[in-house]
Chains A and B, each alone.
Chain A
Amino acid sequence: MVECIPSLTNSNFKSMQLTVNGAPHSFEQKPNLFQLLEMLNLTGKRLAVERNGEIVPRSQFSETLLADGDQLEIVVAVGGG
């Protein structure tokens, strides 16, 4: 499943592919991590993000520029044993 999330337009920019929680997503613009979370309606939630196997501290979301092919894991705490 490829979800196309329309956003801030940039005419010279080819779409960018990200894998978010195992699913492919395509973006028309190159978002930073904070913008990505906004587009996915995830701001304000208590979550943690791993980018290509490395933790991204919450304080660095806005300055983390995403690149084509990035693998992101976005997690929350849920009930469990």
Chain B
Amino acid sequence: MDELVIAGKAYSSRLLIGTGKYKDFDETRRAVEESGAQIVTVAIRRTNIGQTAGEPSLLDAVPPSKYAYLPNTAGCYSADDAIRTLRLARELLDGHDLVKLEVLGDPKTLYPNVVETIKAAEILVKEGFKVMVYTSDDPIIAKQLENIGCVAVMPLASLIGSGMGILNPWNLQIIIDNAKVPVIVDAGVGTASDAAIVMELGCDGVLMNTAIAGAGNPVLMASAMKKAVQAGREAFLAGRMPKKLYSASPSSPTAGMIGK
């Protein structure tokens, strides 16, 4: 069976999805179900003081007993904040140590700060976290993060929330060729064909949020993404035909034509 193995654990789905930006928890639940994702990212935030008890919570809609939670550090701009956030996440999720590290460098573009990311990764790996790390599409940085001990490298295809698709497939290709841990494209996918292309390049998986939550019909897009990731993966495994400007070889036999 073709499985995605992260830190020794096998997953049948290669689509990882975020749980943010949905209309309500019911839509979140339906989109997650339809996507077939087994790993979902969650954010760690201050609780509202004075909140009424019994208010609906993400944990009811997307129960951690059914899905692998991937707490992330989205919104952190320093190694220190990211480390504190993930220590809290580990306590919150009863010692769960598979995490997504993301340290941003700029609130306008949400481009990652790779210097702070490397600093945080070094400390988190030492503390026993299994770090899936969001990074730029710089192949050298990706390799460095792998060497530090990150369990998956997650380069952007384009900027977070931009839906611009794959802007530099060549860099992604180099990262894939060099990596010994799973490469999961995180950020930039806009629609199903983008997800298929990412998988055809040989990525091990795709992580997305806005492409689904920001679609006109998020639940239907979740279904489309599931199929696109599967189709792209199968195409990669099958191996595409070579590209040629002309084909001297028609699909139908040249012999046996009538009237000759």
- The secondary-structure label for the interface of chain B is mixed
Contact A77 B43 (CB under 8 A): yes
Contact B19 A80 (CB under 8 A): yes
**Known contacts being A21-B46, A41-B50, A48-B92, is A79 close to B28, with CB within 8 Å?**
yes
Give the shortest distance, in Å, between B69 (CB) and chain A (any CB).
7
Q: Mark B71-102, 1 if CB is under 8 A from A, else 0.
A: 11010000000001101110111000000000
Contact B20 A79 (CB under 8 A): yes
Kindly list chain A residues whose C-beta atoms are within 8 Å of the C-beta of B210.
Answer: 81
**Known contacts being A50-B88, A55-B87, A57-B91, is A80 close to B74, with CB within 8 Å?**
yes
Contact A76 B57 (CB under 8 A): yes
What are the 9 A-B residue pairs with the smallest beta carbon separation, nearest first? A80-B43, A81-B18, A81-B209, A48-B92, A79-B19, A48-B91, A21-B46, A80-B20, A79-B20
- CB closest chain-A residue, reference B18: A81
Contact of A6 with B by CB under 8 A:
no
Distance between Cα atoms of A45 and B138 in the complex (Å)? 41
Q: A45-B47, A79-B25 are in contact. List 19 more A-B contacts (CB 8 A).
A: A22-B46, A45-B57, A48-B92, A50-B84, A55-B87, A74-B46, A75-B45, A75-B46, A75-B92, A76-B44, A76-B45, A77-B93, A79-B22, A79-B58, A80-B18, A80-B43, A80-B209, A81-B19, A81-B21
Kindly list chain A residues whose C-beta atoms are within 8 Å of the C-beta of B87.
Answer: 50, 55
Kindly list chain A residues whose C-beta atoms are within 8 Å of the C-beta of B91.
Answer: 48-49, 55, 57-58
Contact A77 B46 (CB under 8 A): no
Within 8 A of B (CB), among A54-81: 55, 57-58, 73-81
Question: Could you pull out 26 A-B pairs where Cβ atoms are within 8 angstroms?
Answer: A20-B49, A21-B47, A21-B49, A40-B50, A41-B51, A48-B88, A50-B88, A55-B87, A57-B91, A58-B91, A73-B46, A75-B47, A75-B85, A76-B57, A77-B42, A77-B58, A77-B69, A79-B18, A79-B21, A79-B42, A80-B45, A80-B72, A80-B74, A81-B19, A81-B74, A81-B160
Write the residues of chain B forming the contact surface with A, with a CB cutoff of 8 angstroms: 18-22, 25, 28, 41-47, 49-53, 57-59, 69, 71-72, 74, 84-85, 87-89, 91-93, 160, 209-210
Interface size class of A (residues with CB under 8 A): 20 to 34
Give the shortest distance, in Å, between B91 (CB) and chain A (any CB).
4
